[in-house]
Structure 1
């Protein structure tokens, strides 16, 4: 590579990996997407969900405000959502066909590309903590089933009786799902309960490190050990030095499109990406703005692609400037963001900013 091009590439890489200012931080969260509409939501439930999202934002923000890591912030925020029965993760997870709760989670840090994930856990209270332990304390990326819970016990993570995850609302959704299936109607989990309650968070700390995490109970009525996108690195969760993504939606399609990875891959969705080396060195600042804007464009293109294959859902993301964002094609998405400049957003419906 010519010296000038090499220098340019190095400058771009540095700019992508460095936050705008040393003490900047940001956090974006989601609690799932789907048919979430005002006329189907009581004022009490609306307030309850907003309070839960706000609590998760505060938990993560408190870590970042004190100079803590994005890894700690993501786990703190997701822990709150995993314990709230309004969301399909941890307590309040949906039921499998066999009337059990099967929990999936993943986490990834962008500076090292270290990642950990778990699928099919059933006794570990906080699956996101287990995913983090897989990343930090094992030689593996993904553990599943009883082995995952065994590893959790060995690591001293809190264990609970499977009944801890039970909620009547989720069980009733399974009963409705089975009733449709037994009548041999053309139905799916979406027809019965069109809401992806997966939770996730993406954070950038004061050192500019981005971390992304996702936790879910999967699909109502899932069978045969089905695993969706949430524990799959690159599908439901991904982070690198300049981007982080957490997804919720039709898992099989998010896997097929490697949605989270491709959003962070810059020009992966573009038909004719512009070669970075062709940009003059004095245009680096403008290029950085374009890269950050491209993250939003890539997210929109990703959700469009999911829709074209018959799926639906949404994503949250951060890019190298720390600006939080989201994209979804459903009537609503539980979501929120907070930044070091004091801006905070909590939203539910599609017409909210």
Structure 2
């Protein structure tokens, strides 16, 4: 069979996207939800700076010829180390007053994936998720077992006190007061379900990756796990699409949201922005959930849909300029076509 016919046959099956020279792109989010303009100028400045730093650190990996997985790891680590985000250092408290973290990463080129949930001492959960993907025969590890694996692989562990911040502690106290008064419909109740960081990247080889890290849900009980560490729900990547979600996890799990977006792109040939909007802004809200996501396809098309007040978000492309936004009415620049974006999101 001639090479041209082989390429066409393989592409028609949607199995792989052959390697090609690509313009690297990185997209990040720091969570969607109740994000209002009442936040202090100092806090807003700090959040924008952290998003910018995450983009710069991850993009430096791409410019150096590193993989999409390297870029995702580098970007998410920045956000995990910043207490303004609900992941790593800024993780929220469970009902029992503990910090309990989840994370996942996926390599779209190989469909390799790693996931961890319910850890208390891992400084950068995304790095442990990556170790699960690259250094174990498993996909998902939880709790004490995941931390035992972290020790074996030299992943940095810290005293649980490292994760305690006064702001998150006070959020728990407010939530506990609502529990006692049986108040379940305020912004506090809604805000419990939000707060995640994530990244998706396209490297120079045309490979995609996605990662997500979270401190979970304020006041959560019984070892609840949301969508972030569940491959296909809050995190997914294949040869043509990468997605990281942020929102009410139960609904992302039930819709298998990240996988659903990517299947629409790679199997149904739906343009990325339409596919992401259909799942995030139609399917999930129709069930009673809300949130957002970042998505990237093999053409470098960026999509950042959300149906909440705002979403901490940003992207960086061929010009090396970080684009960062927070509020729903703020132009994030993603609506403008990027290089090679011809309106089709099918893999090249």
Paired residues, what number?
327
Counterpart for residue 279 of structure 2: 302
Does residue 337 (structure 1) correspond to residue 337 (structure 2)? The answer is no
* Pairing 1:169-188 to 2, within 5 Å after superposition: 169-187=167-185
Distance 1:41 1:16, change over 3 A: farther
Worse-matched range after superposition: 203-212 or 5-14: 5-14
Counterpart for residue 251 of structure 2: 253
**Residue 161 of structure 1, aligned match among 154, 159, 162:** 159
SS in 1 for 2:313: strand
Q: Is the contact between residue 99 and residue 120 of structure 2 (CA under 8 Å) also seen in structure 1? A: yes
| C-alpha distance in 2 between matches for 1:71 and 1:94 | 26
| C-alpha distance in 2 between matches for 1:73 and 1:6 | 31
SS in 1 for 2:304: strand
**Residue 326 of structure 1, aligned match among 282, 286, 304:** 304
Q: What are the Cα deviations for residues 103-145 of structure 1, in whole angstroms up to 9, with x where unaligned? A: 0000000011000000001111000000000011111111001
Worse-matched range after superposition: 192-201 or 298-307: 192-201
SS in 2 for 1:91: helix
Q: What are the Cα deviations for residues 26-53 of structure 1, in whole angstroms up to 9, with x where unaligned? A: 0000000112122x12211111110000
SS in 1 for 2:305: strand
The alpha-carbon deviation at position 325 of structure 1 amounts to: 1.9
| C-alpha distance in 2 between matches for 1:7 and 1:44 | 53
| C-alpha distance in 2 between matches for 1:189 and 1:239 | 32
Q: Is the contact between residue 108 and residue 241 of structure 2 (CA under 8 Å) also seen in structure 1? A: yes
| C-alpha distance in 1 between matches for 2:133 and 2:266 | 27
The alpha-carbon deviation at position 340 of structure 1 amounts to: 2.1
| C-alpha distance in 2 between matches for 1:222 and 1:202 | 27
| C-alpha distance in 1 between matches for 2:31 and 2:184 | 25
TM-score (norm 1): 0.88
TM-score (norm 2): 0.89
* Structure 2 unaligned blocks of 5 or more: 332-348
RMSD: 2.2
| C-alpha distance in 2 between matches for 1:249 and 1:65 | 31
| C-alpha distance in 1 between matches for 2:261 and 2:159 | 38
* Structure 1 unaligned blocks of 5 or more: 274-290
Q: Is the contact between residue 105 and residue 118 of structure 1 (CA under 8 Å) also seen in structure 2? A: yes
Counterpart for residue 56 of structure 1: 54
Q: Is the contact between residue 245 and residue 294 of structure 2 (CA under 8 Å) also seen in structure 1? A: yes
| C-alpha distance in 1 between matches for 2:115 and 2:275 | 24
* Pairing 1:245-284 to 2, within 5 Å after superposition: 245-266=243-264
